[in-house]
Structure 1
Amino acid sequence: MIKNWFKNIGPGPLVAAAFIGPGTVTVCTIAGVNHGFTLLWAMLLSIVATIVLQEMSARLGIVSQKGLSEVIRTEISNPFFKILAVILILSAIVIGNAAYEAGNISGGVLGLEALTGSYSDYGSLWSIVIGVVAFVLLYIGNYKVLEKALIALVVMMSLAFLITAILTKPDLSQILKGLFTPNFSDDNILTVIALVGTTVVPYNLFLHASLVKEKWKNTSDLKYARKDTIIAVLLGGMVSMCIIISAAAIKDAQVTNAADLAKGLEPLFGAYSKYFLSIGLFAAGITSAITAPLAAAYVATGCLGWSSNMKSLHFRLVWMFILGLGVLFSSIGFKSIEIIKFAQVANGLLLPIIAGFLLWVMNKSSILGKYKNSVIQNVFGFIIFGIALFLGVKSVLKVFDLL
């Protein structure tokens, strides 16, 4: 039974690897340090929303055997809206992932530096090492090899953060209270937006629909895809919660990222906590450094009508461009804050648009036949669409300092 389960593990862990990046680690760290366990409910909400949307994306990929960007290109008939959609998607995903890639690689470097204790001396060298590892795995162009490598890294990351959280000996009653008692105020609204925004990621919807068709070809496999999605997203959500729980043990406003958290936990819970946290941060950085260029390549090839074969020239050129920029910006310590702000605005606009488009497509019998959304799936979908719209508006206002 276990052997059969492992055989049917699919793109789910890659999706989890994609949303647990250094940005997520940092946001969860800040949430835990500043608000203790009180924002665990926002993480729970994010996990439910992610499962609902990613299941739709996976179902679309298996039934249609097309990526989400391909479906958008073929289903929007109005030329103006088609061009607008393609420009927005390419801006948010390709330019956005190029901006975030430097952060992904820098996060992996922070983990290695915290692990080795050699801060800044070898930063650019570590950036190149992570870049080379990501390059080799992507260039092989074999989905099974990529899948196995990322599953191993996700398991390592999950165990590292889980053990760190256990070492802090948290109060279980406080955790349960934080999980099931929504706490919403002017003080925590930006952190709530960040927690949901870093988990319900637009590019994962594109990545998932494209990857499932590499793994599964028949509608009879939908049950495996659904199980794979639920387990992987729950695992990813557990990682985020463990980071919040670990950070809640620190009562120090000087903690701004996971490397600071690693140093802060050491005097309280011993050197092991530092090592486990550093390994987790390294794994989070390197998995996102692989999945971000991969997602960008699927999106660009789908939008522009190119081959989405992992070994095709166009596909490779896109991910090489994203990865190369990430290594370069990470190595020289370039603070791409303006590009990241642009990516945040684009992503804030994109999530409700893509969630709305996904809901529209998931109700089309011409594409999905009997596998279209049920009433319950639509109810959940529209609630999540409303939340995405609210958060999208808030994130855009936040970037322009209007919030």
Structure 2
Amino acid sequence: MMTNLLREKMAKPPLQAPSLPWWKSWGPGAIVAACIIGPGTVTTVSVAGAQFGFGLAWILVLACLVGYFIQRPVMNWTAATGTSVLEGIRDEIGVIWSKLIFFGLWLGALAFQAGNFIGASMAMNLIFPAVPMIVWVSLLSLSAMSIAWFGVYKLLENINRVVMVMLVLTFCLTALAALPRSQGIMSQALTFSIPEGDLLIVLALVATILVPNTLVALSGFMKNKYQESTYTQEQIRKRSFNDLKMNFTLLALISIAILLSAATAFYGTGQTISSAGDMAVQLTPILGSFATIFFAVGLWTAGFSSGLFNLTVQPMLFGHAFKQSEKPNAPINRTILIITGFIPVALVWTFGGSPVELIISAQAINGLLLPVLTIVLFVLTNKKDRMGRFKNTFTSNIINLAIIGLVTILAIRVFLSFF
């Protein structure tokens, strides 16, 4: 019933768009962007900067462009139909596909959730070293569950707006601290080359931006934001695209700031970084204690926001995949929330740290799921009878076919590495 009402609202004749501040469009994209900048992304970009310098900046910009273009048809689908793409997969392609995609995303999220909270806990340990990591992991999980328990979309949107501002400030302030020492490496950004012909680093940086969960979650959050609005389809589409542009621009800015900090501090020194926590510790003698604090706060924010995203999105995706209630207080949704919150804590209790094998397995699942998901989304968003005037253009299809090829190469590489 809600979907039918939403579709009717979205199909109303065009009206004059209300004059609202630009930040009123800012929301679903901020939730997704805050998820993408997690401990895994911070670590990957830090290691890339330490090993290869600032010459990889163009690859981060390319990865953000890929992320932007792959999400445009997804947003067109939701603007045109009033449903999320996972609901579209369920109704147009098959229930079995929506269920398999949900379980694949959920398994990956359970393992990565441990990594999210461990990353945030490492940051807290830098500031409060006397508190054991398991205590921080438990507190962070409970805090995120408390927010997700009520499932108030507006609250989640506002929290992630603050998160994005914090991420920009903390990592950009760290980069500013590195700026006086960075003149010699900034010219590397104009080389547009793949260092030492290493294609793997290109795939790793693209993969850290293209998180499978976000490809289906964005349209769900977009639906939640506009389901009670009086905006027309075109107004919703325009506002959503503005939101998408804003947040992928911020993603590029944050990623480049992390890369610059790592490249300035470690490139050419022979020092290695195995985690984002290592980078925060090693920044102290080079950039000073304030840079370390900024980086630690950014790492905590990245871990907590990614953890909160996973807790919030799984019940919503379950409802879309299985045609169940989307209400946060539905018993099945509360059960999924509890499982998603407590299993990562149990993993940390059991392993005493990051469950590396499970996280590697999750990376394999996500790597293999990504091309399947992009192909299914390509088929879905080319259904002209549902998309109407928002159907994919020829140029859009060419771009998305190129992206499918890229993520397929990534999947093959992940598959070979896994075995």
Distance 1:2 1:165 in 2: 36
Partner of 1:396: 415
2:124 counterpart of 1:105: no
Q: CA offsets, 1:337-382, max 9 Å, x none?
A: 3332332222112111111121222221221111111122112111
Identify which of 136, 140, 150 aligns with 1:130: 140
Q: How far is 1:102 from its partner?
A: 0.4
Identify which of 52, 76, 80 aligns with 1:63: 80
Q: How far is 1:6 from its partner?
A: 1.8
Q: How far is 1:204 from its partner?
A: 0.1
Report the 3-state secondary structure (helix = DSSP H, G, I; strand = E; otherwise coil) of the residue aligned with 1:311: coil
Where structure 2 has 5 or more consecutive residues not aligned to the other structure, the ranges are 1-17
Amino acid at match of 2:319: T
Please give the residue correspondences for 1:34-53 in structure 2 after superposition, counting only pairs within 5 Å.
34-53=51-70
Higher deviation after alignment, 348-357 or 295-304: 295-304
Q: CA RMSD in A?
A: 2.1
Amino acid at match of 2:296: S
| Contact 2:93 2:380 survives alignment (8 Å) | no
CA shift in 2, pair 1:60/1:259, >3 Å = same
| Contact 1:28 1:243 survives alignment (8 Å) | yes
CA shift in 2, pair 1:184/1:36, >3 Å = closer
Higher deviation after alignment, 170-179 or 144-153: 170-179
Partner of 1:303: 321
Distance 1:27 1:167 in 2: 21
TM-score by length of 2: 0.88
2:240 counterpart of 1:240: no
CA shift in 2, pair 1:348/1:324, >3 Å = same
Partner of 2:216: 206
Instruction: Report the structure number with the largest CA radius of gyration.
Output: 2
Higher deviation after alignment, 26-35 or 335-344: 335-344
Amino acid at match of 1:8: S
Distance 2:387 2:53 in 1: 44
Amino acid at match of 1:9: W
Higher deviation after alignment, 204-213 or 234-243: 234-243
Please give the residue correspondences for 1:12-161 in structure 2 after superposition, counting only pairs within 5 Å.
12-77=29-94, 83=96, 85-86=97-98, 88-116=100-128, 118=129, 121-161=131-171
Higher deviation after alignment, 22-31 or 123-132: 123-132
| Contact 1:21 1:104 survives alignment (8 Å) | yes
Distance 1:327 1:180 in 2: 44
| Contact 1:344 1:396 survives alignment (8 Å) | no
Distance 1:28 1:75 in 2: 38
Q: How far is 1:173 from its partner?
A: 7.7
Higher deviation after alignment, 281-290 or 327-336: 327-336
Distance 1:139 1:307 in 2: 15
Amino acid at match of 1:70: E
| Contact 1:92 1:343 survives alignment (8 Å) | no
Q: How far is 1:94 from its partner?
A: 0.5
| Contact 1:105 1:330 survives alignment (8 Å) | no
Identify which of 202, 214, 236 aligns with 1:192: 202
CA shift in 2, pair 1:347/1:252, >3 Å = same
Distance 2:152 2:60 in 1: 33
| Contact 2:367 2:410 survives alignment (8 Å) | yes
* Off by >4 Å, runs of 4+ in structure 1: none
Matched pairs, number: 392
Q: How far is 1:109 from its partner?
A: 0.4
CA shift in 2, pair 1:87/1:396, >3 Å = farther
Q: How far is 1:196 from its partner?
A: 1.1
Distance 2:413 2:107 in 1: 21
CA shift in 2, pair 1:3/1:303, >3 Å = closer
| Contact 1:46 1:196 survives alignment (8 Å) | yes
Distance 2:73 2:401 in 1: 13
TM-score by length of 1: 0.91
CA shift in 2, pair 1:263/1:87, >3 Å = same
Q: How far is 1:15 from its partner?
A: 0.7
Distance 1:66 1:253 in 2: 49
Distance 2:368 2:383 in 1: 24
Distance 1:129 1:29 in 2: 27
Q: How far is 1:321 from its partner?
A: 1.0
Distance 2:376 2:111 in 1: 25
Q: CA offsets, 1:154-211, max 9 Å, x none?
A: 211111001101110164684464366031545x333322211111111101110110
Partner of 2:296: 278
CA shift in 2, pair 1:147/1:276, >3 Å = same
Report the 3-state secondary structure (helix = DSSP H, G, I; strand = E; otherwise coil) of the residue aligned with 1:36: helix
Q: How far is 1:292 from its partner?
A: 1.4
Distance 1:89 1:263 in 2: 38
Distance 1:137 1:190 in 2: 37
Partner of 2:375: 356
Q: How far is 1:290 from its partner?
A: 0.5
Partner of 2:406: 387
CA shift in 2, pair 1:335/1:161, >3 Å = closer
